[in-house]
Structure 1
């Protein structure tokens, strides 16, 4: 992609502030909705009395929507444009939130899963539109930095969401875990489960109202469309005229596979930390996703400071993959009874300590931070008129968040939660391959 095709080239730099602010608000929404799953999984395990594998289906139903609905949503974007498509995505989220009310009232796990799929569908169209928007709105070499600013919004919301969920939905039951619930007498257990499930109704009704207003505000906003037709003409002039399918772009296809691996790793780090901690009997397990998100924020901050001034997007991707491999090994081999690592990192600040294994899972957030921002500009380079569909293919890679955690759940039920983290090693190995070789391929 040539820098002269960006929106930045068509107007003064300050004109980018408003669209970036609007997209930043959307990324906050992505994060708030997505990372509630980290709290929902241990919560629904208690409310619906689920196994680990069944509880992971909460993430599966959410992320599988990205695969099933990505190409249909790309077709919608081609008809409606990016702005109207994003407003539609917000309204689809509203429909998913409303489904949570009967699901919670009747404690019907199947309805919860349908609601998760609907919410995932809404986020699919939002993500398919918003990510290429951030890439194309300025120079390619700084695209990762723009995505990292969006990531700060996304993961900042990811820190807030589990804490808000724990405070608003769980309330007095915040310290409850699967282990403590199972130890209750039958009558007390039944009453506790009913109180827990009903606590979900009004918060999701409130979210439905707020997101309806946000959809109207987005529709009325001054968000411009992307000049993709001009870029397509430039792509033809540079020898890309023979391309007839997105599958003819190896860096794009391999990028989608990389995002499959990455999102699988990210969801395991963010969503299973509470599940594993709850099984260990750690208090406030539903809020522990916030630790993973906090380390991702630190990673974003470091990336913004270093890219592209001192480190290229490709080098950052290599470093992330290597760190992910090392931390995954530490998760598997660390001692859940020890708290040395958290004591060293934040014990001095009075923050509650965590078992070393849980701390290393949280630290995976730091390793994951730069992967998404680095892959998108590398994979979308030179797509031109194929940008919407190329973005949809990358979004389909998010289904890694459905499939890989399910594999983790099966391994956890078959052996134990800690050994199940072996599944992380091949994921980071593929990310390393893309960082070193895959993103450079221009022909099969």
Structure 2
């Protein structure tokens, strides 16, 4: 991302203040990316588990994930306003505590067990993650040189992928591995007693998650994070007075970036949520759900590797061009997944993780480039667009009516929009002075 001179009103970042090191802050923020990636992907092993516990169809199963992503739609704008009110640091702490409360609620849902309470608590956890997303993504993007923002966000998103890679192993061992449905052959019908026992297997994993989140909230509260300010005049403050500022829609990269995030999430979440059911099929991988959950870690591991590689690549090459190459690769492997069988279909689906790896952080940084004092609102809209993951229910409906393998054509179509955004939609228009690190007041 090349920087533009201040005379044109483009992005501006002040140099690092003498004696102020931002590395420790970025390291701590990377731990947040790890945790919300970890918790989000636990759902990928939780869904086949709940499918068995509550005897759900694919449509009903993906509806659970839809509720999760609907939270992003409702919580994003309030999150942006909360950040303006209490600041980035306090917002991160609040987000972690909200997530911890939801994790404790999941223990209650498993004890009853209750499908309705499960949906509510997943909504609560996702609302906390939404607040973290709105705060942490733009924060990482501006703490450093503007031209390496995509590289920097891909680097910390690689820690997000580390969480998503480990979560399936955690879930496969503590949820699927400790349940009758997770260790039985495909098609096994459970008794009511076995369903109840399987439901209780969720309690321990979420107790561990809640404890880690509380500890992390305490660490963030006591850590001296660098402060962030924006170059605002009175006119710029006036722009920020609207619920959704109309000035935002002058920025083409944001206008097309919002649907890019929305559509990309349909692809990512659809692949992840249906992975276990797809790979365990007799004509694909012919394995138990527990074994398929272990292979899911390879999908997310590919995303981690891709983000580390993407971070290095974007130090030398334009982020938009790199995004275009990765979107073409994702399109090709999804066609293989749709029309091949056996190991070829399974490994092509695993490989899409590598090509999906850079998409979210790169789209995000391209979309907020040049927003200046409107960055929080723009970030809120982009995180709201994560609600696109809720439309995974459409893929569930396609799977029920036309076949699980055919449903991946929807994923392939999503990759084409990302290609369009990379080549044309991400071009910056009406760039404004951007957020800067406050060198005079480096710590909250």
What TM-score bracket applies, with the shorter chain setting the length? 0.7 to 0.9
SS at 1:288 equivalent? helix
Count of residues in correspondence between the two structures: 412
Q: Distance in 1 between matches of 2:315 and 2:56?
A: 46
Per-residue CA deviations over 1:267-294 (Å, capped at 9, x if unaligned) read: 1222211132345452222333212101
Pairs within 5 Å for 1:180-259: 180=186, 182-184=187-189, 189-228=191-230, 230=231, 232=232, 245-259=247-261
Q: In structure 2, do the counterparts of structure 1 residues 270 and 156 end up closer, same or farther at CA, with 3 Å as the change threshold?
A: same
Once superposed, what is the RMSD of the aligned Cα atoms?
2.4
Is the 2:326–2:356 Cα contact (8 Å) retained in structure 1?
Answer: yes
SS at 1:15 equivalent? coil
Equivalent position to 2:350, from 362, 386, 390: 362
Task: Give unpaired runs (5+ residues) of structure 2.
Answer: 237-244, 431-444
Is the 1:235–1:384 Cα contact (8 Å) retained in structure 2?
Answer: no
Q: CA deviation at 1:33?
A: 0.8
Q: In structure 2, do the counterparts of structure 1 residues 112 and 287 end up closer, same or farther at CA, with 3 Å as the change threshold?
A: farther
Pairs within 5 Å for 1:335-350: 335=341, 338-339=342-343
The answer as to 2:53 corresponding to 1:51 is: no
Equivalent position to 2:304, from 293, 297, 313: 297
Per-residue CA deviations over 1:17-66 (Å, capped at 9, x if unaligned) read: 12101111111111111111111111111111111111112211111111
Q: In structure 2, do the counterparts of structure 1 residues 25 and 369 end up closer, same or farther at CA, with 3 Å as the change threshold?
A: same
The answer as to 2:403 corresponding to 1:416 is: yes
Q: Distance in 1 between matches of 2:115 and 2:137?
A: 32
Q: CA deviation at 1:153?
A: 0.6
Q: Distance in 2 between matches of 1:183 and 1:169?
A: 17
Is the 1:45–1:178 Cα contact (8 Å) retained in structure 2?
Answer: no
Equivalent position to 1:380, from 368, 373, 385: 368
SS at 1:245 equivalent? helix
Could you say which residue in structure 2 is the equivalent of 1:407? 394
Q: CA deviation at 1:258?
A: 0.5
Is the 1:253–1:393 Cα contact (8 Å) retained in structure 2?
Answer: no
SS at 2:323 equivalent? helix
Q: Distance in 1 between matches of 2:90 and 2:414?
A: 35
Q: CA deviation at 1:93?
A: 0.3
Which shifted more, 272-281 or 374-383? 272-281
Equivalent position to 1:147, from 146, 149, 153: 153
Task: Give unpaired runs (5+ residues) of structure 1.
Answer: 237-242, 340-355
Q: Distance in 2 between matches of 1:91 and 1:46?
A: 30
Q: Distance in 2 between matches of 1:137 and 1:21?
A: 12
Q: CA deviation at 1:370?
A: 1.4
Q: Distance in 2 between matches of 1:235 and 1:160?
A: 47
Between Structure 1 and Structure 2, which shows a larger proportion of helix residues?
A: 1
Per-residue CA deviations over 1:325-356 (Å, capped at 9, x if unaligned) read: 11111111111xx33xxxxxxxxxxxxxxxx2
Pairs within 5 Å for 1:320-335: 320-335=326-341
Could you tell me the TM-score, scaled by structure 2's length? Answer: 0.87
Equivalent position to 1:107, from 94, 109, 113: 113
Could you tell me the TM-score, scaled by structure 1's length? Answer: 0.87
